[in-house]
Amino acid sequence: MDLIPQPHKVHLIARHAEATLWLARYMERIENMARILDVTNTFARDADDTRNWLSIPRINGDLTEFYKKHTEATQRSVGEFYLLDADNPTSVQSVIAAARENARTLRALISTEMWLQINVFYGKIRALTAATISPDHFTAVCAMLKDGTQAHTGITEGTLYRDQAWHFYMIGRSLERADQTTRLLDTRFHSLAPVSDAADADIDAGQWNALLRAAAGYHAYRREHPSGYNAPEVACFLLANKAFPRSVGLNLMQIEWHLTQLRTRYFLRMSPALERLDALNGMLTYQHVGELADGRLSPFLDYVQGEIGGLHKDIVETFSG
Amino acid sequence: MPAGGASQTQVQSQMQPLLQPHGTMQGYDPGAFFCEMLRPGQPQHPTLTLLMSRLAALPIESLRRRAADAERDLLERGITFTVYSDATAIDRILPFDLIPRVITPAEWTQIETGVIQRVRALNMFLRDIYHERKILADKIVPAELVLKNQGYCEAMVGFNVPFNTYVHVCGTDIVRDETGTFRVLEDNARTPSGVAYVVENRHMSLRVMSDLMTGLRVRGVDEYGLRLHNAMAEIAPPGVEDPQVVVLSPGIFNSAYFEHVFLAREMGVPLVEGRDLTVEGGKVWMRTTSGLAQVHTIYRRIGDDFLDPDAFNPDSMLGVRGLIEAWRRGTVAIANAVGTGVADDKAIYAYMPRIIKYYLSEDMILPNVDTRICAEPDALAYTLDHLAELVVKPVAESGGYGLIIGPHATKAELADFRALLKADPSNYISQPTLKLSVSPTLCDEGVRPRHIDLRPFAVTGKDTWVLPGGLTRVALRAGTLVVNSSQGGGSKDTWVLA
């Protein structure tokens, strides 16, 4: 049963559906970048500063590109590479430009308030310079980026008409959140893997701390696991938990709901994506993830990332060509 | 207050109308030009008197603050056109002057009926030249002027369009001379732009000048999208119950993209590019998430040449292959029709008084500017003799390029132009220099007179409807007459009083 009678069929241009997925992904990506930069800057200050800052190019698979431009990973070099560098397609400058381009494509479809906020946010990001991201402003810049993306999220929640385009938007956001969480987890599992002696224990607590804060899951995790950190529990929290907004499991669940809506309400052929999702969901259980956390998590995370990319492709392929 | 102590509830005592600029309007002197606010020699309109006193009472600092707010607002809302250079893309606004231009009900009646008359005549002319060609046979308009015209389209010969409407959206450029007479400067019958600014300027006025407007009865402009959609539905192929209308844009890099967005949004229809459409089985389809869906009417904002690489420019990446063939089969409607450029050509414009008389047996409700066709020997001789007093325009250009304004030209410029004109007289028309009317405009020196024009928009399906008001463009630089946005012009909100 439909809530709104639809005597008039409203079509969604296939190209616009794809732009909607990307708009959501890019805006989400900016928030993730801001979180990681902020947390690295604030909580991961210890003896091995370089290792901490280097984790960011590693998360994004940018190590080669990063070392072409910089010799050392510091707040300054990583900050410039990810906030200002227009040649770097993963920099916030590049990502907001891409997000705005998609928003422009969708301007007749999205709410005017969504467009206006993105346009103003774009102006603020474009105005960033090496001076404005210097140490005394670094946290403020990260806060501005988080505020901007969260305002976007709120405006979208409150104003975007919930037809097909909204479902694609929500799928895009969840795909990006799931992807970013696997990346975050992957780097930490690289650096955290061997717990060799007690001296490392403090560092590790700080690392887990930073990881969870970057994913905005620190307090929720403490509530669920007040006794402390261990690798299987953190991995399960970020991958299999169905209550944490940035867990892979929760986001896949949401994607499934939106795909089902698109299939049943709009008769879109979503079976390839739903099948892939089904298989992926089967592996993201507490039991399975817990078993992998002893050192086999990294290849599994690569596999999950690949499948998230595959989901995006499946969805786009249903309506292109 | 007069003696006698009128009670608070009574109507205000009668006062002498405020004819003289005062307050913020102090120092405002339109000189010999017709001022749209002071209206010398015309009966005082009470709303205008009230408006001027409200305006005069606003401190200049307040006006400047509001102007700055408006400018920022336009940029933030992306009511902009993008200027591309080598590596950068800069968003520019069409400057907005916050002092409205006012049109009285009587003036509007003349403009509205005059525009409808012209649109009727243009459509009848197009119908005729692509069918019987009576007007050419009767030698009212020279045949070669039509048949060799750049805008003339061979593919249109013998082709019928619904309601014989070719020009579905027409923008008529109107100026007002020093006597207050409205005169048509040109008809824009291809893809006239600017209507989005009419509506956005009104919204801007309501945001930043609401106190100026309080209690005044000004006709609304929000109906445009609905009217346009209805016209587009009317011209759809017969028998389609719920026709699918789309707006066809060249894409996000086009300078008028904001307007394309506006039109799609206001009509509630998809904004598509050529790549979203395809022709199969003689019908036009759009690519949607659930496959191909048929399109019945295309409001296109792409020039004729780029519409269909099969029919016109084979290199066009913007259009849709096979579109014209589908159109000719009657499975889709295109607005405006192809080949309307011949009707809004500056050379044809000179014949408009005769064209209206020929088809409608009526005099022009909105007169032309006195125009000489340099292809005619007498006119050329006159133009050469009076070059320093005249405006001479090439017939094929738009946007204020390639014209010469005699009184503003140097001796050398006049000599150069004389050579151009002699070499190719049929490419030019000449007109007297117009003393365009002025309107109070916020300038660096204060509120000053600046020249304006008006482009009302007429929408035609079965019948013609004219959006009350239109786009008022203003030449922001002192003394200049060129209002085009490409030449430093801005725009104003246009109020038609109810």
All residues of chain B having their beta carbon less than 8 Å from the beta carbon of residue A319 are 287-291
Interface test with chain A among B288, B301, B320, by most A beta carbons within 10 Å? B288
Round the average pLDDT of chain B to a whole number and report it.
91
What is the predicted pLDDT for the residue at B399? 52
Q: Does domain B372-432 have CATH number 3.30.1490.270?
A: yes
Hey, is the C-beta of A86 within 8 angstroms of any chain B C-beta? Answer: no
Spatial CB neighbours of B314, under 8 Å, sequence gap ≥ 6:
none
CB contact under 8 A, B78 and A119: yes
In the predicted model, what is the mean pLDDT of residues B131-144?
A: 95
How far is it, in rounded angstroms, from Cα A106 to Cα A98?
12
Pairing of strands B428-432, B390-394: antiparallel
Locus of tokens 């299999």: A240
User: Residue B426: pLDDT above 90?
Assistant: no
Residues B170 and B340: beta-carbon distance below 8 Å: no
DSSP string, B78-129: T-EEEEE-SS-EEEEE--EEEEEEEE-HHHHHHHHHHHHHHHHHHHHHHHHH
Cα B73 to Cα A110, A128, A185, B147, B220, distances in angstroms: 19, 21, 42, 48, 21
Give the best residue of B203, B271, B285, B289 to mutate against chain A (max A CB count within 10 A). Answer: B289
pLDDT digits (tens, 9 = 90+) for B2-32: 444 444 455 655 554 545 677 888 889 999 9
Cα distances (Å, whole numbers) of residue B249 to B83, B165, B244, B320, B477: 17, 22, 16, 12, 32
pTM: 0.91
Relative orientation angle of helices A14-43 and A92-105, to the nearest 10 degrees? 160
Per the CB < 8 Å rule, is A14 touching B76? no
Contact between B198 and B469 (Cβ < 8 Å): yes
Chain B: closest CA distance from residue A5 (Å) = 15
CB contact under 8 A, B242 and A8: yes
Domain locations along chain B: 23-94, 372-432
Across the interface, of B77, B252, B270, the residue whose CB is closest to A101 is B252
CA B178 to chain centre: 21
Q: Compute the distance between CA of residue A141 and CA of residue A119 in angstroms, rounded to an integer.
A: 17
Q: Are B202 and B431 in contact (CB under 8 A)?
A: no
- Residues of B within an 8 Å Cβ radius of A: 75-78, 242, 244, 247, 252, 257, 260-261, 264-265, 270-273, 275-276, 286-291, 293
Any B CB within 8 A of A321 CB:
no
Q: Give the distance from residue A283's alpha carbon to the nearest chain B alpha carbon, in angstroms.
A: 30
Q: How far is B76 from chain A (nearest CA, A)?
A: 6
Q: What is the spatial distance between Cα B97 and Cα B441, in angstroms, rounded to a whole number?
A: 6
Q: Which of B77, B275, B290 sits opposite A116 (nearest CB)?
A: B77
Asked if residues A291 and A297 have their Cβ atoms less than 8 Å apart, the reply is no
Nearest CB to B290; choose among A16, A112, A267: A267
Contact A194/A201 with Cβ under 8 angstroms?
A: no
- Round to whole Å and give the CA distance between A87 and A77: 14
Contact flag B270-A8 (C-beta cutoff 8 Å): no
Dump pLDDT digits (tens) for B197-241. Answer: 999 999 999 999 999 999 999 999 999 999 999 999 999 999 998
Q: Residue B241: what are its φ and ψ, rounded to 5°?
A: -75, -45
The count of CB pairs under 8 A between chains A and B is 73
A229: phi then psi, degrees, rounded to nearest 5: -105, 140
| Cβ-based contacts of B288 with chain A (< 8 Å) | 11-14, 319
The residue whose two tokens read 């007297």 is B432
pLDDT tens over chain A, length 321 residues = 455 565 678 999 999 999 999 999 999 999 999 999 998 888 766 656 777 888 899 888 899 999 999 999 999 999 999 999 999 999 999 999 999 999 999 999 999 999 999 999 999 999 999 999 998 899 999 999 999 999 999 999 999 999 999 999 999 999 999 999 998 888 776 654 444 444 455 557 778 888 899 899 999 999 999 988 888 899 999 999 999 999 999 999 999 999 999 999 999 999 999 999 999 999 999 999 988 887 788 889 999 999 999 999 999 999 886
Helix (H, G, I), strand (E, B) or coil at A211: helix
B273: its two tokens? 């590019």
